[in-house]
Amino acid sequence: MLKHSIRIFVFVVLFAGARFVLAANHAQETITTGTATIVGLHNILIAHSDDVTAVAFSPNGQRIASASNDGTVVVWDSDGTVLLQFENGARVFDVAFSPDGNSIATGDAAGVVQLWSAASGQLTASLTGHRDSIPSIAFSPDGALLASGSFDTTVRVWNIASGTQRVVLNGHTNWISDVAFNADGTLLASGSFDGTARLWDVAAGIERAVLVGHGDVVRRIAFNPNGDTLATVSVDGTARLWDVATGSARATLEGHGDTVWMGIFNPTGTILATAGRDTTVRLWDAATGTPLAVLEGHRGSVTRIAFSPDGNLLASGGADTALILWDVASGTQLNTLPGHTDTITAIAFNPIGTMLATGSRDQSVLLWGVLPGGEPLFCTVTSDGNVNMRDEPSTNAVVAGVLGGGQGATVSGQRRGDDGFVWWRIINGAWVRSDVVATTGDCSNVPGV
């Protein structure tokens, strides 16, 4: 099997409310930019021979695991090198790192949860008991437990240390579509093709509430960060917000008019984002269910969305093969990033928001470098031909300040060779100086300007 990564450095500068100030004299020209998000295609990762079904970053952000219908899981470093490959033996539908990063879990079409060493790639446990495919798995926040939801209509909770089954949760009458723990691991939620979601007491192993209201399959579920609200999305074209304490519906969110594939909270829990077959992404007030914005830009069903860790960006992908980055505060489209050639099936940010991974039915994983905007930057071309980048509009420095406002990537603006400018790339989750790219005399295509 072919295993390699193609390294491509194509960078797109995305401006949200950017401001440009031009001041020129005979010695210099200065351009000031407002907040800018720089996104670049970092690597194309090719090792799978069938659809990529899921991607996940390790807790330290230095590794990416991808699962596929080809029955394998591949673990890559952030520079695109294959570190490990697991032969699962059946189509793999979900993959997750344990909270400590030491283990990788998979759920597969054979109804088995496999646990693998993230260091060696050795199989450490096969958790059997389900009688059908497992589309969703989730570690508890402390990593002691793992939940699995199956097409056999059951949810099972496993003890990771012993590799044994802790409890079988019965109640659903159709396939399980999704499982999720709340923030402290005391509650487990499940969504089902029976049109309900259920809340389970993890310690007691009993059902706490049945959330009834959707008129069709519940596709995905999500707890807000403090765990007092559960969001559900459905084939009935709606999303719902539920009070976890009472099991009652707080709000029904209508607008998509067709299948809602995914719903996620932003990191502060104030916004719910939903993605639908109607080609839109929608933002809602998570407390009231009030519509905040309709994000239009896709030309096909939107199946995957992810917030950046700081909540400022939202990434979306789906059937039109495009990855779109949105500015959450303004609800505006920053850019459409081509790269995949088939439906995007998975999206994940690394824990510090400097990298984005996407998986697709085209069998590839794409890694995107993301440098969020910060304080304004100043680009200066001096009379002696030096290109300078700095945090202040001083003209006496040859070497730049910190690029992007605090990301820690120092860049050099010294002219090199044929109008060269030193660029950077991500290695092990950090931005480091790298390639030389051409610049124009007015700084117009200097990265970050």
Average pLDDT of the residues in 309-333: 94
Tell me what pLDDT residue 270 has: 98
CA separation for the pair 322, 339 (Å, rounded):
7
Does residue 40 register a pLDDT over 70? Answer: no
Tell me what pLDDT residue 337 has: 84
Tokens 């980055």, located at residue? 325
The per-residue b/e assignment along 1-10, b for 16 or more CB within 10 angstroms, e otherwise, is eeeebeeebe
pLDDT tens, residue by residue, 220-235: 999 999 999 999 999 9
Average pLDDT of the residues in 94-122: 97
Does residue 403 register a pLDDT over 80? Answer: no
258 against 440, higher pLDDT: 258
Q: Which residues make beta-bridge pairs with 272? A: 265, 284
pLDDT tens, residue by residue, 237-294: 999 999 999 999 999 999 999 999 999 999 999 999 999 999 999 999 999 999 999 9
Does residue 30 register a pLDDT over 50? Answer: no
- DSSP summary character for residue 203: T
Q: Is 131 helix (H, G, I), strand (E, B) or coil?
A: coil
The per-residue b/e assignment along 205-239, b for 16 or more CB within 10 angstroms, e otherwise, is eeebbebebbeebbbbbbbbeebebbbbbbbbbbb
